[in-house]
Structures are given as C-alpha cells and as structure tokens.
Structure 1
Amino acid sequence: MATVKPILRIFDYVKALEFYKDWLGFRIDWEHRPEGSPAYLQITLGDISLHLSEHHGDCSPGARVFIDDFRALAPFHQQLLDKNYPYNKPGLHAPFYDPTAQEMTVIDPFGNRLTFVERG
C-alpha cells in the first residue's frame, strides 16, 4: 500500500522546529536546506510523517491534517499542556461525530491544523 505524507507550508524554520519538534515531539528524519534556499524537511512522530516546506510553490498555508486512531491521546494532551507552550493550549473533547472518541486540534504558527483523534 502507498504511504501518504502531507506537505505543510511553513514560513520560519526556527518557529516550525519550536512547534513540531520541541512542543509536539516530532523528530527530524531528514532536511534539505542548501545555503540561501528555503527549507524542506520530513518529521515523524510514531507512525505520523509530515513534510514541512518553506518553498512557496509546494502548497498553501492553512491546511488541515486529520490524524485518526492516535493512541493515548489524553496523556499526550497533558504532556503538551505541561510543556506550557505559550502559543497553543489545546482542548480535549468528544467530537460531534463520535461521542465515544476524543479529539484534540493544534494550530501551528502558519495556520495549519493537526487534529488528533482516539477512537473509544
């Protein structure tokens, strides 16, 4: 089966790392940052892989990624709150479409949203 890796537009490499690496806990798998060129990198958290791009032609800011079947969402949510990241304090709630699930949405500094869902 094919693997899907969404590309998210970023505008500031340092802010992207602060959000994705330092706060959410993604690791950098690889990056392409030639001198004087925009950054392009792959980050991973568990089975979730995303590409982040400063290249203006790759994608538009404001995308949404739906991450289904995330395990241990409540502890992950608490871990994020405990880090006291000043720009994002996500809530955890049961979504309208499944009262047995838990959902959390975070918004990166570039307007991209990641929605994590754990099924009940």
Structure 2
Amino acid sequence: MTTPRLGSVVPVLRVQDGDLALEFYEDRLGFTRQWEHRFEPDLPLYTRIARDEAVLDLSEHYGDGTPGTGVWIPVHDVRALHAELLPRLAPRQRPGMDEDAPGGPTFAVLDPFGNVLRFCGTDGTDGSGLS
C-alpha cells in the first residue's frame, strides 16, 4: 500500500474581467498563461497562470473563489522582485516593504479585483519549499 501524498496547492482567485486580469498578471507581474478554458466562447474564463513555481488559477465563474482573497507567495530575493515590479504597477500602487513581517520581508500588491498577493522573502528554512 502506498502512502498518499499531497501535491502543490493552486489557489483560485475570483476575477470579474478575464482580459483585465490577464493584462495585470502578465504585463505587470510577469506571470505567463499556462492554459485557459471556456465551455463556450461567450461563457466565463478559467485560466492558469504561473511565474517560476508560483501557480494561480483565475476564474470569472461565480462561486469560484472569493473577491479579496489573500495569497502568500515565497520569493528568493524579495527586494529584487520589489524593485522589478514597482515601475510596472499603477502610479498610486506603491507597495512598501514590511521588514518586520512574520514570514520575513514582505510587500503586498492588490490586483484589480481586490485580491492581495503577499510576496515574502524567505531563505527556505520556514517550510515554504524554497531552498
């Protein structure tokens, strides 16, 4: 008998406009679309995006996810990512670095639908899976 193993978790974030979501996640945050699905051309979008090991599903489907969800994303060299993203974010969204956050230096970015992405620096010793 084999021991069951859990795979990586993929959060589902509710988005109300797939085009706007993809523009934000691809152009501003550097994610890449892995695949997308619609039952019919005019029906809601469900898509998977990824950047390195971070994987997110975005859904226009009512009932998938809750607007305002928070996602914690471990990052090697969070300061370099912060410097990379700042010029691409909207002029009024200038996230600062919280040096004293519980998981390590952290900055948060809001997507256009109120979901919060918390990018946290880690050295891999906190069980995040990064090493």
Q: Same fold (TM over 0.5)?
A: yes
In structure 1, C-alpha distance between the alignment counterparts of 2:99 and 2:26, rounded to whole Å: 27
- Give runs of aligned pairs for residues 65-104 of structure 1, distance below 5 A: 65-68=71-74, 70-86=75-91, 88-97=93-102, 101-104=104-107
1:49 deviates by 0.4
Aligned CA RMSD, in angstroms, stands at 1.6
Correspondence 1:23-62 to 2 at 5 A: 23-33=28-38, 34-62=40-68
Where does residue 119 of structure 1 map in the other structure?
Answer: 122
Cα deviation 1:45-102 (Å, max 9, x = unaligned): 110000000000212111000113x11211111111122533522111213436xx21
Aligned counterparts of 2:98 and 2:65: Cα–Cα separation in 1: 30
Task: Confirm whether residue 13 of structure 1 aligns to residue 50 of structure 2.
Answer: no
Aligned residue pairs, count: 117
Q: Percent identity?
A: 39
TM-score by length of 2: 0.81
Q: Which runs of 5+ in 1 are unaligned?
A: none
Aligned residue type for 2:91:
P
Report the TM-score when normalising by structure 1.
0.88
Which has the larger Rg?
2
Q: Tell me, which stretches of 5 or more residues in structure 2 are unaligned?
A: 1-5, 124-131
SS in 1 for 2:35: strand
More displaced stretch, 30-39 vs 80-89: 80-89
The answer to which of 1-10 and 77-86 deviates more is 77-86
Deviation at 1:36, TM superposition (A): 0.8
Distance in 1, matches of 2:63 and 2:45, equals 13
Q: Distance in 2 between matches of 1:62 and 1:21?
A: 19
